[in-house]
Amino acid sequence: MTTAEKYVSAAYLVVLAIVLLYVVIYAFRMTRLDREVRELTELAARRDAPAADSGRGRGPAG
Amino acid sequence: MLLLASVALAFWWVPDDADQGFSQRIFYIHVPAAITAYALFGWAGWKALRLLWRGDERYDLESYTAIHVGLMWGVITLATGAIWAKISWGVWWSWSERQLVLFLILFLFYSAYFMLRYSVDAGPQRARMSAVYALFGVVLIPVSFLAIRLAENFIHPVVFTRDGPQMAGSMFLVFCLSLAGQVALAGALYQTELAGKRLDSRLRELRRVLA
């Protein structure tokens, strides 16, 4: 491999590394968002549960 | 696919450049990266202008995301340019090259955008200040782009002249493929990041409502 070939390969690898780094960082961010969605879903379900329980005890309206 | 095709063609199909030999192949990734960075900064400026014009704050997030992705292409341009300079000129950087210095100024200018943005509390005032700053940066784009033609003693190669691209048809084809691939990749990353940021902002709102 000549010096020019090494440098050209290095340039292309640098680009690949930068794009991969960006994708990895973004994948972590998306994982965090996914976790937040799950937490909020659980929170919403917990808030709904007492309301549903209290509603179950009552008879039909009218 | 476009990018992979352009890389394969750049390495195994296009002929060696008569002047620079094998090292000229960096051109197919360096110049499209610079054009993509200019396009993203230009897009950020357009969104900033729309924010100032219409007052709709969704343009703030779009402008910010374009600058963020544009900076990544700025890093690619600077890194590949430094490697090309090392092969061609024997140095990683040349301060006498106006094209390089102006691109670095443009890059630092947009890097400082984040310092300004995060030094002000979120809200309409921050959105307007960021938009004005992004618009100022747009002025630097044509200056940086034309610097090579304004320079008197340049060693940076000029490929695109008034007579068209000064290269073989196969080289121009690979250049166009690489440019299309990089613009498509930048667009995809921009859309993904924007969707993530919008989701993040809605989740914050939802957390506030549920708390």
Backbone angles phi, psi at A36, to 5 degrees: -65, -40
Cβ distance B29 to A12 less than 8 Å, yes or no, reads yes
More confident residue, B148 or A10: A10
Position B64 scores a pLDDT of 94
CB of A38 within 8 Å of any CB in chain B?
A: no
Average pLDDT over residues B168-180: 84
Cβ distance B29 to A3 less than 8 Å, yes or no, reads no
Position B90 scores a pLDDT of 83
Name the token pair of B69.
């992705």
Cβ distance A8 to B30 less than 8 Å, yes or no, reads no
Cβ distance B203 to A36 less than 8 Å, yes or no, reads yes
Average pLDDT over residues B121-150: 82
CA distances from residue B196 to A49, B28, B34, B61 in whole angstroms, order as listed: 30, 31, 25, 11
State which residue of chain B sits closest to A4, comparing Cα positions.
Answer: B23
Which one of B72, B83, B203 has the shortest CB-CB distance to A40? B203
More confident residue, A62 or B135: B135
| Confidence tier at A62 by pLDDT (50, 70, 90) | very low
CB of B210 within 8 Å of any CB in chain A?
A: yes
More confident residue, B29 or A49: B29
Strand partners, B160: B165
Name the token pair of A29.
């961010």
Q: Is the pLDDT of residue A54 over 70?
A: no
Average pLDDT over residues B100-120: 89
CB of A11 within 8 Å of any CB in chain B?
A: yes
Q: Is the pLDDT of residue B104 over 70?
A: yes
In chain A, DSSP assigns E strands to none
Cβ distance A40 to B206 less than 8 Å, yes or no, reads yes
Closest approach of chain B CAs to the CA of A23, in angstroms?
A: 9
Cβ distance A18 to B79 less than 8 Å, yes or no, reads yes
How far apart, in whole angstroms, are the C-alpha atoms of residue B37 and residue B114? 17
Name the token pair of B25.
């192949």
Which one of A14, A15, A37 has the shortest CB-CB distance to B203? A37
